[in-house]
């Protein structure tokens, strides 16, 4: 696992370089994307490069990590809505090639999502954030390292972290459909972004190299192509 310390803007530029290079060199590239405030500078950088004519997303497929259970794509707190408004609607990607787990899943087997990823050829670059308790996607502490896409009950710490995006903490959904840890590890390359003082403790724990279900992100130590991007604050411990 490689650690890179940069400011937020330079993190976005460095990862954008990787993504643009992939798109230019592979006929049908597949990206794994994340939501939340952490990847926003990256998405802004990719939009900028598209508008400057540096890259086209016409042949790109994307798979997002997760979605809240109970929210449809028209709900402004859904991750499909987030991706449409913060990236997809600003570039030339075919929306039919952008996939977000179904938050209204009922009788459908969540493993359909892993099958779709496999049929697309697998994820070339997976973008991740990390929670203050070490969760990646919605794989909470205690999650199985062998998990594929599934429905996860959210911990109170995750609900509290995400409540800033809602009118009230009571509005935050209690369940999500998420790629599992094995789903994430199947990506050929992984980049994780951690910025701000709130992430310093978990990054310090991750650096110890101890692999434990209590720290879901620690499974990344077993992957052969992971880069952890941190700013000075997240790297402070």
Give domain limits for the chain: 2-230
User: Are the beta carbons of 231 and 196 closer than 8 angstroms?
Assistant: yes
CA distance 94 to 91: 9
Confidence of residue 164 (pLDDT cuts 50, 70, 90): confident
Backbone angles phi, psi at 31, to 5 degrees: -110, 140
Lowest mean pLDDT among 164-173, 185-194, 207-216: 164-173
Nearest to 213 by CA among 145, 156, 131: 145
Q: What is the pLDDT of residue 202?
A: 97
* Predicted confidence (pLDDT) at residue 234 exceeds the cutoff of 70: yes
Within 13 Å of residue 125, how many CA atoms lie on the same side as its CB? 18
83 pLDDT more than 90: yes
The whole-number pLDDT of residue 162 equals: 83
d(CA 176, CA 134): 17
pTM beyond 0.85, yes or no: yes
Selecting among 45, 114, 140, 152, the annotated active-site residue is 140
Q: Does 160 score more than 90 pLDDT?
A: no
Average confidence score pLDDT of the chain: 95
pLDDT band of residue 55 (cuts 50, 70, 90) is very high
Choose, from 67, 114, 124, 135, the residue flagged as catalytic.
135
Q: How far is CA 144 from CA 66, 127, 188, 223, in A?
A: 16, 20, 20, 16
Q: Which of 67, 133, 152, 161 is catalytic?
A: 133
Quickly state the pLDDT bin for 156 (edges 50, 70, 90): confident
* Topology (CATH) of 2-230: Rossmann fold (3.40.50)
- The whole-number pLDDT of residue 161 equals 82
Q: Which pLDDT belongs to residue 64?
A: 98
Is 232 a known active-site residue? no
Q: What is the pLDDT of residues 166-185, one digit of tens each?
A: 888 988 999 999 999 999 99
Q: Which two tokens stand for residue 58?
A: 């016409």
Strands 175-178 and 150-153: antiparallel
140 labelled catalytic: yes
pLDDT beyond 80 at 233? yes
The stretch 181-196 carries a mean pLDDT of 98
Q: For the chain, what percent of residues have pLDDT higher than 90?
A: 89
Sign of CA dihedral 87, 89, 90, 96: positive
* Selected catalytic residue, list 45, 66, 124, 161: 66
| 85 catalytic per annotation | no
| pLDDT, mean of residues 204-232 | 97
pLDDT at 107 (0 to 100): 66
Q: Which residue has the tokens 């996939």?
A: 99
pLDDT digits (tens, 9 = 90+) for 93-150: 999 999 999 999 876 799 999 999 999 999 999 999 999 999 999 999 999 999 999 9
């Amino acid at each position: 696992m490689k650690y890179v310390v940069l400011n937020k803007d330079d993190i976005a530029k460095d990862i954008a370089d990787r993504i643009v290079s992939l798109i230019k060199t592979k006929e049908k590239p597949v990206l794994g994307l994340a939501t939340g405030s952490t990847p926003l500078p990256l998405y802004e950088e990719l939009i900028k490069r598209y508008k400057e004519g540096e890259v086209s997303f016409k042949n790109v497929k994307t798979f997002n990590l997760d979605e809240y259970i109970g929210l449809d794509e028209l709900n402004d707190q859904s991750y499909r809505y987030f991706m449409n408004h913060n990236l997809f609607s600003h570039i030339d990607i075919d929306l039919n090639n952008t996939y977000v787990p179904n938050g209204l899943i009922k009788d459908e087997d969540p493993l359909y999502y892993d099958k779709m990823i496999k049929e697309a050829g697998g994820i070339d670059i997976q973008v991740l954030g990390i929670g203050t308790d070490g969760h990646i996607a919605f794989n909470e502490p205690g999650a199985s390292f062998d998990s594929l896409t599934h429905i996860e009950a959210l911990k109170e710490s995750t609900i509290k972290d995400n409540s800033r995006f809602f009118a009230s903490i009571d509005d935050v959904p209690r369940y999500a459909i998420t790629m599992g840890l094995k789903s994430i590890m199947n990506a050929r390359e992984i980049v994780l972004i951690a910025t701000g003082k709130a992430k310093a403790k978990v990054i310090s724990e991750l650096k110890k190299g101890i692999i434990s279900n209590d720290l879901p992100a620690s499974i990344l130590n077993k992957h052969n192509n992971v880069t952890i991007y941190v700013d000075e604050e997240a790297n402070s411990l």
